């Protein structure tokens, strides 16, 4: 159940291996109690907690440089614009994009997928054409394509998965054909933790002339991502899952695609000139960024990326893999528990069910023990249907989690069993 990354940066003050005790002091919320118990926050795939450095960046923006960006000539506006645009360059380096103009600010991964569907997708999809997604997709990477296919008379096709939660590449290869226009797949499953072989999948899709969008929401907190190496056409992620603020997300697109795509929304900043007779649109990325954005969120996203990379992505990956192996072993010892998703290449996500206990009941009892997990279908109902389950419980780990918190989860599950005996 291992995965590996290559570090891009090392913090000079960090020795080999992570010190979770030291790291946890950077996250104020982790010191609080819930129902009188120490908080064990194991819901990181839903949203991650924020280090003080990110909180300070938001506060600093509002207390020192709050102003609207791009259009002002006064000092505060210039400073706010510089900070916001510096984040664009910071994201470019983080993803290893070719140029900063390939980075589009959006609200979330969901908005990024919708943007691509309603611009590039709408432009190239016609009756009888096909879009390929996988069975393990989040609803946000199903519904926009479903809507577009219905409108255009196109067909949505689905890559199947194996019982242990791997995409069946032989079946994927059979789906690809001259009518395939777009392939949209998740880099890491939010339910199973499966790390998909996306580089190979991109190469296969490009062999049939299809565009590829990768949903990286669950990948960027755990893996080094190099969009040039992946050769994907689009890559997207959300700031709040990578220790940044909510309401800010990123769409990477190859420059030639962004240049040819029509605008997504009309408004301020995405234009060069407007008259009642004609509007001339701005260049990418501003062409897709109409209206006042989440400036504070954008500025603070840079602080989140700095924090993560200063730890060293290789150290983060190694530590989270140790936690994953420990959690897998401990949960496997819980009587009546069954893990859902056992692919050999996984990120730190564990979904499970317990005999005769609904996941919502599990989550409620665990909450009383201070343990925060996620229960439900995780916005992946087609995947739940494949496994014949209405829901699962999901524990998702981050570099600030500890073995003691996993032990607390297992003790809580023992209490669940006691209640339902």
Helix runs in 153-222, H state only: 169-175, 198-206
Contacts for 402 with CB less than 8 Å, ≥ 6 apart: 20, 24, 323
- Count the Cβ atoms, other than its own, within 10 Å of residue 5: 17
Peptide bond into 285 cis (omega under 30): yes
For 386-390, which contacts have Cβ atoms below 8 Å and span 24 or more sequence positions? 386/135, 386/161, 387/340, 389/340, 389/353, 390/358
CA distance 374 to 367: 10
CA distance 263 to 256: 14
SS3 (DSSP) at 151:
helix
CA distance 356 to 49: 32
Query: In DSSP terms, which residues pair with 159 in a beta bridge?
Result: 134
Say whether 410 is catalytic: no
For 165-171, which contacts have Cβ atoms below 8 Å and span 24 or more sequence positions? 165/136, 165/189, 165/192, 165/194, 165/340, 165/341, 165/342, 165/343, 166/194, 166/343, 167/134, 167/136, 167/194, 167/196, 167/197, 167/201, 169/197, 169/200, 169/201, 169/204
**Annotated catalytic residue within 13, 149, 232, 379:** 379
SS3 (DSSP) at 114:
helix
DSSP letter, residue 194: B
Residues assigned a catalytic role: 379
């Amino acid at each position: 159940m291992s995965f590996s990354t290559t570090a891009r940066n090392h913090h000079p003050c960090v020795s080999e291996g992570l010190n979770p005790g030291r790291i946890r002091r950077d996250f104020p919320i982790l010191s609080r109690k819930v129902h009188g118990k120490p908080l064990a926050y194991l819901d990181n795939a839903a949203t991650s907690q924020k280090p003080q450095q990110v909180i300070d960046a938001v506060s600093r923006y509002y207390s020192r440089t709050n102003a609207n960006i791009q259009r002002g000539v006064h000092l505060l506006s210039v400073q706010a614009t510089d900070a916001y645009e510096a984040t664009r360059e910071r994201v470019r380096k983080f993803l290893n994009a070719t140029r900063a103009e390939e980075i589009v600010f959006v609200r979330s991964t969901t908005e990024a997928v919708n943007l691509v569907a309603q611009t590039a997708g709408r432009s190239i999809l016609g009756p009888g054409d096909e879009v390929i997604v996988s069975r393990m997709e989040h609803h946000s990477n199903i519904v926009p394509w479903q809507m577009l296919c219905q409108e255009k008379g196109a067909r949505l096709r689905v890559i199947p998965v194996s019982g242990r939660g791997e995409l069946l590449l032989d079946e994927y290869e059979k789906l690809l054909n001259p009518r395939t226009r777009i392939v949209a797949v998740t880099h890491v499953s939010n339910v199973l933790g499966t790390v998909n072989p996306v580089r190979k999948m991109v190469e296969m899709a490009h062999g049939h002339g299809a565009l590829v969008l990768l949903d990286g929401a669950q990948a960027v907190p755990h893996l080094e991502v190099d969009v040039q190496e992946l050769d994907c056409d689009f890559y997207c992620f959300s700031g709040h899952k990578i220790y940044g603020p909510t309401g800010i997300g990123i769409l990477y697109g190859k420059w030639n695609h962004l240049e040819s795509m029509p605008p997504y929304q009309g408004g301020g900043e995405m234009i060069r000139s407007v008259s009642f007779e004609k509007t001339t649109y701005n260049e990418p990325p501003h062409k897709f960024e109409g209206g006042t954005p989440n400036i504070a969120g954008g500025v603070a996203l840079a602080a989140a990326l700095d924090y993560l990379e200063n730890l060293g992505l290789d150290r983060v990956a190694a530590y989270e893999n140790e936690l994953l192996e420990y959690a897998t072993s401990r949960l496997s010892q819980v009587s009546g528990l069954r893990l859902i998703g056992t692919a050999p290449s996984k990120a730190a996500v564990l979904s499970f069910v317990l005999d005769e206990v609904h996941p919502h009941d599990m989550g409620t009892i665990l909450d009383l023990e201070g343990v925060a997990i996620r229960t439900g279908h995780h916005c992946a109902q087609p995947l739940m249907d494949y496994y014949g389950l209405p829901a699962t419980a999901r524990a998702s780990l981050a570099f600030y989690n500890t073995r003691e918190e996993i032990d607390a989860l297992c003790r809580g599950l023992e209490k669940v069993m006691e209640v339902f005996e």
